[in-house]
Amino acid sequence: MRALVPFGKRHVVGIVTAVLTHTDIPADKLKPIKRLLDEQPALPPSILALCNWGIQYYHHSPGEVFKNALPLALRNETTPLIEFVDTWQVSTKGKLIELSSLSRAPKQVNALTTLRNHPNGLTQTLLAGLDIKSPTLKALRDKGLVEIHEKEQSYPSWATDNLLREACLTLNEQQQHAVDTVLNTNQPNTDKNMSFATYLLNGVTGSGKTEVYLQIIEHVLKAGNQALILVPEIGLTPQTLQRFQQRFNVPVLALHSNLTANQRLTVWRQANAGCAAIVIGTRSALFTPMKHPGLIIIDEEHDLSYKQQDGFRYSARDMAIVRAKLENIPVILGTATPSFESLHNAKEGRYRQLSLTHRAGEAKLPTFEITDLRKAELKNGLCKSLIHAMGHELKQGNQVLFFLNRRGYSPVFMCHDCGWNAACVMCDARMTYHRQPKHLHCHHCDYQSRINLHCPDCNSTDLRAIGQGTERVDENLSELFPKTRIIRIDRDTTRRKESLENHLKQVNSGEPCILIGTQMLAKGHHFPHVTLVVISDIDSGLFASDFRATEHTAQLILQVAGRAGRAEKQGKVILQSHNPEHMVLQSLQQQNYNAFIQHALPERKLTGLPPYGYIAMLRAEAAHADMASRFLEQVIEQFNNLSSQEPTPQTVEAWGPVPSLMMRKAGRFRFQVMLRSNDRLSLHKAIAELLPQIEPLPDSRKVRWHLDVDPVQLD
Ligand code: ADP
Ligand code: ZN
Ligand code: ZN
């Protein structure tokens, strides 16, 4: 329950998580709660249990975990948990009085008659809609004929019959099998009570995963239960929301970052009251309470956005599984490119795998071609054969998607005479050259500066933009295809809220165009008119030092490729590379994610990294490099002294301290230590023992440090 508690000189909103009869904390250190804020618990038991699990598993402070779980608006003591509204109701006297006694006030007669017909009362807003004004009501109240009561706000609810607003598609065999498996229809009498199980819906791009979700949700709704759907991004894919709203006659509510705190609270209250039948949201929607929980879906489960990258570093995917278990409901992880963790869990039998191996309807998977850039003839920085292929598609009235995961004009701005290049003063990184508006920009810390006219080292004026960003590709393609509409979608062109929607509208109009975009375009879009997808400059992802880099690159390639040929017309993917023989590209050429996995998983096994081992990262940063590394050396010393560190097969290893991949970022030096074990429990036991030793370390106040359990990115 929420409580107002003294904190220094102020009062703040706290959460009562348990009531104890005994504590070892001395009585003079304890302070009384000022008051409870609500009459009922702020979080249902399942969400409380979920938070407690998160506190333990991520070794994180309870306050911040609850902060993530509770709507922001409820951290304000004046915001009530439950919304009350003034309701006008007829009094006993008002029920009995002869209407004729009011005959000289026809408006009052009308108002009283209406309220007599609604003995449970009506809100001011509803009455205003019936043209009953407040002076009339006040006059009746003064006569003692009507009363105002505070009543719990009620929300539009839904009926379990007449659920469908549009007809379902006829499922193909694989889709039907997936639906049947989750609904348990092969086991009679159980389908009304779907219980906890984790399903990995592994379906190639365009295989109709959404239709599978929709038909399972229909059954959930029929039983009067709610569904929670997590997606990586809502702002980027308004289509997703529309597909759920088009299908069902029920309230479908979205939770995303563009909502105000009060709007979020309204959605939260409706879900909590059981009135929101379907809630679709990004990561933090995981904590939305449901009065009648029925199902959780994690769409694009491999997506990195499910892991929070600061503060409480939780994985919404992993916690969704914990929540489903707590609520005893099924959870579905859907993706065309499963994370290695999920594949491993499926292989070990912890998840049930449901496969959709071909595209739904008439659509076929695109063909896949790798162009060797080493021998290519270039024009405007683009390969000639590529220009030809693009022109061919456009002539046939089709659309082309050009993927380049780098915004700006060029990634390098350098002196042709001495080799100087523009670097960020705050980071170990190059400044990106932007044309519109003209400036240099660090994409890591946002530092911006003017463009040098002279080289600071040799004073030469021969400064050149090297390499291609989306802005430059835009310029080059405009020259090559002057009559074609070019739509660039990256963070620079979609800053304003409506601009992305306008861009997408143009794409969906179907007229031939070239779409240029960064990974904003890779996620879940359905572009039926795109027949050619060009993937450019993906090589850096093949050689990055993060052990997950190839996994993430393969996923990105297949997701982008998956935008091609999603409707009647056959699609084609052209991937440009300087390393066409690279294992990742070769296995993906058959668009066979499994072939890629066969190569990549054994490597992980050799190194004992996830999914075969378990890791946690301790990161520290400070204004001076030796401060951060010295602090982590002290941590390692503590770690080596832990009693649990007897050498056994379950040993926990500490690797480091080593500088982070980008050692200096935003003016601070960053180092890390990786803790690793083959055994999850041993790792967590060691962390639990180690953490209390870190706080008292002399340097712990001079650095910023944090623990990241199951990190997904080693930056
Ligand atoms: P995914 O999410 O797996 O990439 P979608 O759910 O977006 O795929 O489906 C791709 C397209 O296939 C959509 O236009 C969808 O309407 C269509 N589709 C899905 N299932 C069927 C089906 N059983 N029959 C015909 N078309 C289907
Ligand atoms: Zn120079
Ligand atoms: Zn920077």
Q: What is the pLDDT of residues 672-683, one digit of tens each?
A: 999 999 999 999
Longest Cα–Cα distance in the chain: 101
Residues 596 and 625 in one domain: no
Cα 180 to ligand 1 centre (Å): 18
- 366 confidence band (pLDDT: 50, 70, 90): confident
CATH of the domain at 624: 3.30.70.360
Residues 203 and 340 in one domain: yes
Cα 665 to ligand 3 centre (Å): 6
Global confidence as pTM:
0.90
Nearest ligand, measured from the Cα of 299:
1
Cα 362 to ligand 1 centre (Å): 10
How buried is 559 (Cβ within 10 angstroms: 0-12 exposed, 13-18 middle, 19+ buried)? buried
Q: How far apart are CA 488 and CA 402, in angstroms?
A: 9
> What is the b/e burial string over 369-383, where b = at least 16 CB atoms within 10 angstroms of the residue's CB?
ebbebeeeeeeeebb
Kindly state the tokens that stand for 352.
């049930």
Q: At which of 556, 574, 600 does a domain end? A: 600
Give me the phi and psi of 98, to 5 degrees please: -70, 130
Tally of domains within the chain: 5
Nearest CA to ligand 1 atom 4: 206
Residue 247 domain-assigned (yes or no): yes
Residue 575 domain-assigned (yes or no): yes
Q: What is the pLDDT of residues 120-140, one digit of tens each?
A: 888 888 888 888 888 888 988
Residues 515 and 375 in one domain: yes
CATH of the domain at 330: 3.40.50.300
Residues 375 and 486 in one domain: yes
Comparing 202-206, 259-263, 518-522, the range with the smallest average pLDDT is: 518-522
Nearest ligand, measured from the Cα of 464:
2
Residues 384 and 503 in one domain: yes
Q: How far apart are CA 377 and CA 210, in angstroms?
A: 42
> Which atom of ligand 1 is nearest the CA belonging to 562?
4
Residue 438 domain-assigned (yes or no): no
Cα 42 to ligand 3 centre (Å): 41
> Which atom of ligand 1 is nearest the CA belonging to 210?
6
Cα 418 to ligand 2 centre (Å): 4
Nearest ligand, measured from the Cα of 458:
2
**Taking the CA of residue 249 as centre, how many other CA atoms within 13 Å lie in the half-sphere pointing to its CB?**
11
Nearest ligand, measured from the Cα of 421:
2
When computed from its CA atoms, the radius of gyration of the chain, rounded to whole angstroms, is 30
Cα 167 to ligand 1 centre (Å): 14
CATH of the domain at 65: 3.40.1440.60
Residues around the ion ligand 2 (C-beta < 5 A): 415, 417-418, 420, 455, 457-458, 460
Amino acid, single-letter form, for residue 154: S
Ligand 1 mutation target, pool 246, 508, 526, most atoms within 8 A of CB: 526
Residues 71 and 93 in one domain: no
> Which atom of ligand 1 is nearest the CA belonging to 204?
3
> Which atom of ligand 1 is nearest the CA belonging to 175?
23
Q: At which of 600, 634, 657 does a domain end? A: 600
Please check the confidence at residue 103 and state whether its pLDDT lies above 80.
Answer: no
Nearest ligand, measured from the Cα of 444:
3
Q: At which of 316, 337, 356 does a domain end? A: 356
Q: How far apart are CA 540 and CA 523, in angstroms?
A: 20
Nearest ligand, measured from the Cα of 432:
3
Please check the confidence at residue 189 and state whether its pLDDT lies above 90.
Answer: no
Q: What is the pLDDT of residues 561-610, one digit of tens each?
A: 888 887 788 889 999 998 988 888 888 887 678 888 888 888 888 888 99
Please check the confidence at residue 191 and state whether its pLDDT lies above 50.
Answer: no
Q: Stretch 53-82: mean pLDDT, rounded?
A: 94
Residue 432 domain-assigned (yes or no): no
Ligand 1 mutation target, pool 209, 211, 213, 231, most atoms within 8 A of CB: 211
Cα 663 to ligand 3 centre (Å): 11
Residue 477 domain-assigned (yes or no): yes
Cα 447 to ligand 3 centre (Å): 5
Average pLDDT, the chain: 90
Nearest CA to ligand 1 atom 6: 208
pLDDT of residue 184: 81
* Parallel, antiparallel or unpaired: strands 668-677 and 614-622: antiparallel
> Which atom of ligand 1 is nearest the CA belonging to 299?
2
Residue 451 domain-assigned (yes or no): no
Give the H or E element holding residue 295.
Answer: strand 293-299
Residue 279 domain-assigned (yes or no): yes
Cα 417 to ligand 2 centre (Å): 5
Cα 360 to ligand 3 centre (Å): 45
Residues 261 and 383 in one domain: no
Residues 109 and 249 in one domain: no
Residues 248 and 336 in one domain: yes
Q: Alpha helices, DSSP H only, in 534-624?
A: 540-543, 549-561, 583-589, 593-607
User: Which of 703, 555, 536 shows the shortest CA–CA distance to 630?
Assistant: 703
Cα 541 to ligand 2 centre (Å): 30
Looking up tokens 């590529």, which residue turns up? 386
Structural domain span for residue 107? 84-152
- 185 confidence band (pLDDT: 50, 70, 90): low
Cα 225 to ligand 2 centre (Å): 67
Q: Stretch 689-704: mean pLDDT, rounded?
A: 91
Residues 564 and 487 in one domain: yes
Residues around the ion ligand 3 (C-beta < 5 A): 424, 426-427, 442, 444-445, 447
Contact partners, residue 683, CB within 8 Å, separation at least 6: 614, 615, 616, 652, 675, 676, 677
Point out which residues pair with 70 in neighbouring strands. Answer: none
SS (H, E, C) 263-284: HHHHHHHHHHCCCCCEEEECHH
Nearest CA to ligand 1 atom 2: 209
Nearest ligand, measured from the Cα of 334:
1
Residues 94 and 60 in one domain: no
Nearest CA to ligand 1 atom 21: 360
Q: What is the pLDDT of residues 610-665, one digit of tens each?
A: 999 999 999 999 999 899 999 999 999 999 888 655 666 568 999 989 999 899 99
Amino acid, single-letter form, for residue 233: E
Cα 430 to ligand 3 centre (Å): 8
> Which atom of ligand 1 is nearest the CA belonging to 171?
23
Ligand 1 mutation target, pool 176, 210, 237, 239, most atoms within 8 A of CB: 210
Residue 429 domain-assigned (yes or no): no
Residues 57 and 95 in one domain: no
pLDDT of residue 193: 64
Pocket of ligand 1 (CB under 6 A): 169-172, 175, 203, 205-211, 360-361, 526, 566
